[in-house]
Each structure stands twice: as structure tokens, then as C-alpha cells.
């Protein structure tokens, strides 16, 4: 059972005070002065431990001053060094680095004052100072490790936030970019045939509306996942279209791009996060083919080879420019594959156009 904060702070102080008073009241009183004064010193020295966490340097300074005054007036108490040792540990543990170093400087005068009334060899106070500094160093080292651990946790939280922002940006880019590009192509085609083929114009405008509705539904699903507190939503792609590629192909068909799908039956057994990544990778690849390659046809293959998922998209568009450099879309595909421990290859297709291959290890 965890004790309340007050009990944890006051308990050692009260216990130490009682012990120091009991020693003074023993059958052989350890005092060279009036007992009330010795009791007062016990209260000051042990009572300072009550604020050893909140005001560690102040507590140690008060305790050390009480130790010195006690030693020089009523004689050193047998338990006073124990209380002082606890105080010096908490100076190293709880004080700021600068105040902790100031506390270490108080060790020497306190030890010298304690041994002043006694005729002890010089090696004794030197050894005690060494032990006190070792205890201070133990507390200081623990505090430093705790600070470093907290800094690492803070850095990890910051990295997690940044990674989440990148993920959200990538998701929004995939959803909005694909849908807007498809709608632009459909609207452009409708404008061209507006006067000559009104029926075709109506079909294209219907496709624009359908693409917009699908985009809104996808955005709503994405935002729902981001708001969820207990993990991904149970809502997902239908079992007959586990990666959502059939709906994607229909959207691209409305934009004038014919896509052939080759999906192995075991694709439906993929984990949900991998199915989502497959959908996003294919979506981005086909959007690039439509937008940049002006492709009117493409072929998508998704399958498994032992413990590896492979995705290959080949379009019949213009192909990449010489010495092309990956843009935001290809970089996003690479980030998705890397997050799953996979790899990406892309370049000109064997028969023209652009080819993209992705390999992802499966659990």
C-alpha cells in the first residue's frame, strides 16, 4: 500500500526525532548540557528531514547548523550523523545541480564541528568526509540518471508526436490527393464533351459526385480512427474487397483509367494495418500514373510469396523523365513500406510506362 505524501515526508523525521530523544533519555545520558536544549537540537536536526525533498539544501543546511551547535554545546549525539547523512543524500538526489554542489560544500564544516569536542585522529574526520561525499555522489548520480531518463522519454514522446503528424499528413495527402486528381480529370473530360456528348457529360459529372462522396466517407473514417481512444475502429473494408482496391478501381474508371487487378485469395488474411498500407500504396501509385504519366491503363498485382507480400503496379503512361527524382508521392510510399520493414523499387517499365514494386515481410 502506497503511503500518503505527508506520511512519507513526516514519518522519517518523527521517527528520527523520537530515536534521538530516546538516546538522550537512556540509562547513560549522552549529553554534556541541559536535556531540554539537547531535545531542542534533536527536533531541529531530525525535523529538518520533513522538507528534505521539497527544500533539500535548506533542510541540510538547517540540519548541519543544528549538528554543529549541538556538538559545541551539549556534545555530539550518537544518532545525529545518521540524520545528517540522510540529509546529504537528499541534497544530491533532489536539489538542482547548482544547489547540490553548494550542499556538498557544507559537508566539511559540519564534520569538523562534530569532531571538534573530541580528540580524534585527523584521519577520522577525513574518512567521514569521504563517506559523506560518496553518499552525496550516490544521490546526485541517481538524480542525473533520472533526468537523463526523463529527457529520453520526452524525446521519445516528441518523436512519436512528429511521427503521428507525418502519418496523418500522409493519410490526408493520399485521400485528398487521389480524390481531387480523379475529380479534376473527370471534370476536365466533362468540359470537353459538354456540348457534343451531353450523356457522357452526365456520366462524368456523376462520377465526380461519386468520387467526392467516397472522399468524404474516407476522410470521415480516417478522422474517426484518429479520434478513437481504444484502437482502430471495427469498420473497415468489406471482406469481398479486403484492401478496398475494387472501389479504387471504380473511381479511376470514372476518371478514364482502366485498371486490371490480380489479387491472390489469401490477401484477405492480411492484418488490418497491412491491408490499409496496400490500399494507400496502390492508390498513390495509380494517382501518380494518372496525374504525371497521363496513363489510361494500368495493371495491379498483389500476392504472397512465403512470408513476403508483394505489390506491383505497372502503367501504360508516358513513363518517367530521364534522371527523375522521387516526389512526395513516391517518398510517401517508401515511408509506408519502411514502416513495415519492406522495400520499394521503381523505374521505367519493361514495355514503357512506369513500374513500382513493393515487398513487405509478413508476421
Per the rule left: phi > 0, alpha: psi between -120 and 50, beta: everything else, 237 is beta
What is the DSSP code string of 22-44?
HHHTSSS---SS-HHHHHHHHHH
Once rounded to an integer, what is the mean pLDDT over residues 292-316? 88
CB 1 within 8 A of CB 8: no
321 or 126, which is more confident: 126
pLDDT, greater one: 226 or 51: 51
pLDDT at 62: 93
Distance, CA of 361 to CA of 363 (rounded, Å): 7
Give the Cα separation of 243 and 260 in Å (integer): 15
* pLDDT at 350 > cutoff 80: yes
Confidence at 9, pLDDT banded by 50, 70, 90: confident
Q: Is the pLDDT of residue 109 over 70?
A: yes
Edge-to-edge strands, sheet with 308-315: 258-263, 297-305, 308-315, 354-361, 343-348
pLDDT at 247 exceeding the cut of 80: no
State the cell numbers at 198.
451531353
pLDDT tens across 70-83, in order?
A: 888 888 888 889 99
CA distance 212 to 82: 76
pLDDT of residue 203: 80
At 235, the pLDDT band (50, 70, 90 cuts) reads very low
- Tell me how far apart the alpha carbons of residues 151 and 158 are, in angstroms, rounded to a whole number: 10
Res 202 pLDDT > 50: yes
Contacts of 180 (CB under 8 A, 6+ apart): 215
The predicted model gives 55-63 an average pLDDT of 92
Q: Given this model, what pLDDT does residue 29 score?
A: 57
Report the C-alpha dihedral over residues 350, 352, 354, 360, rounded to 10 degrees.
-20
Q: Is the pLDDT of residue 239 over 60?
A: no
> What beta strand segments (E) does the chain contain?
258-263, 297-305, 308-315, 343-348, 354-361
Which tops the pLDDT comparison, 305 or 220?
A: 305
Q: Does residue 7 register a pLDDT over 70?
A: no
Rg, C-alpha atoms of the chain: 37
Q: How many angstroms separate the first and last alpha carbons of the chain?
A: 41
E-state strands within 105-180: none
Judge if pTM exceeds 0.85: no
Domain ranges of the chain: 5-120, 157-361
pLDDT of residue 57: 93
> In the predicted model, what is the mean pLDDT of residues 213-228?
66
Longest dimension (CA), the chain: 118
Residue 190 CB partners (closer than 8 Å, separation 6+): 200, 201, 204, 205, 208
* pLDDT band, residue 89 (cuts 50/70/90): very high
pLDDT for the residue 234: 38
Residue 149 or 255, more confident: 149
Q: What is the CATH number of domain 157-361?
A: 3.30.565.10
Amino acid at each position: 500500500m502506497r503511503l500518503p505524501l505527508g506520511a512519507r515526508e513526516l514519518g522519517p523525521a518523527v521517527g528520527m526525532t523520537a530515536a534521538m530523544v530516546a538516546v538522550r533519555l537512556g540509562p547513560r545520558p549522552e549529553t554534556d548540557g541541559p536535556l531540554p536544549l539537547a531535545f531542542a537540537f534533536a527536533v531541529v536536526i531530525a525535523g529538518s528531514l520533513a522538507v528534505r525533498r521539497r527544500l533539500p539544501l535548506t533542510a541540510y543546511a538547517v540540519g548541519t547548523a543544528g549538528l554543529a551547535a549541538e556538538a559545541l554545546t551539549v556534545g555530539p549525539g550518537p544518532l545525529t550523523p545518521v540524520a545528517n547523512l540522510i540529509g546529504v543524500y537528499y541534497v544530491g538526489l533532489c536539489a538542482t545541480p547548482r544547489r547540490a554542489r553548494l550542499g556538498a560544500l557544507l559537508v566539511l564544516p559540519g564534520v569538523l564541528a562534530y569532531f571538534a569536542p573530541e580528540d580524534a585522529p585527523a584521519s577520522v574526520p577525513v574518512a567521514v568526509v569521504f563517506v559523506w561525499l560518496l553518499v552525496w555522489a550516490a544521490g546526485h548520480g541517481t538524480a542525473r540518471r533520472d533526468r537523463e531518463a526523463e529527457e529520453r522519454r520526452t524525446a521519445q514522446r516528441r518523436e512519436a508526436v512528429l511521427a503521428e503528424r507525418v502519418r496523418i499528413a500522409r493519410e490526408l495527402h493520399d485521400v485528398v490527393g487521389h480524390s481531387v486528381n480523379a475529380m479534376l480529370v473527370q471534370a476536365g473530360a466533362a468540359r470537353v464533351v459538354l456540348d457534343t456528348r451531353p450523356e457522357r457529360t452526365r456520366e462524368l459529372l456523376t462520377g465526380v459526385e461519386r468520387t467526392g462522396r467516397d472522399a468524404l466517407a474516407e476522410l470521415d473514417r480516417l478522422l474517426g480512427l484518429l479520434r478513437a481512444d481504444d484502437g482502430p475502429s471495427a469498420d473497415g473494408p468489406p471482406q469481398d474487397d479486403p484492401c478496398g482496391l475494387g472501389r479504387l478501381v471504380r473511381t479511376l474508371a470514372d476518371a478514364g483509367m482502366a485498371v486490371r487487378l490480380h489479387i491472390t485469395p489469401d490477401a484477405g488474411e492480411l492484418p488490418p494495418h497491412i491491408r490499409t498500407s496496400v490500399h494507400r500504396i496502390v492508390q498513390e501509385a495509380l494517382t501518380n500514373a494518372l496525374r504525371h504519366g497521363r496513363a489510361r491503363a494500368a495493371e495491379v498485382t498483389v500476392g504472397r510469396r512465403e512470408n513476403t507480400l508483394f505489390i506491383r503496379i505497372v502503367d501504360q503512361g508516358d513513363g518517367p523523365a530521364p534522371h527523375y527524382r522521387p516526389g512526395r508521392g513516391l517518398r510517401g510510399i517508401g515511408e509506408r513500406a519502411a514502416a513495415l520493414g519492406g522495400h520499394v523499387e521503381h523505374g521505367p517499365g519493361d514495355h514503357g510506362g512506369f513500374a513500382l514494386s513493393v515487398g513487405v515481410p509478413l508476421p
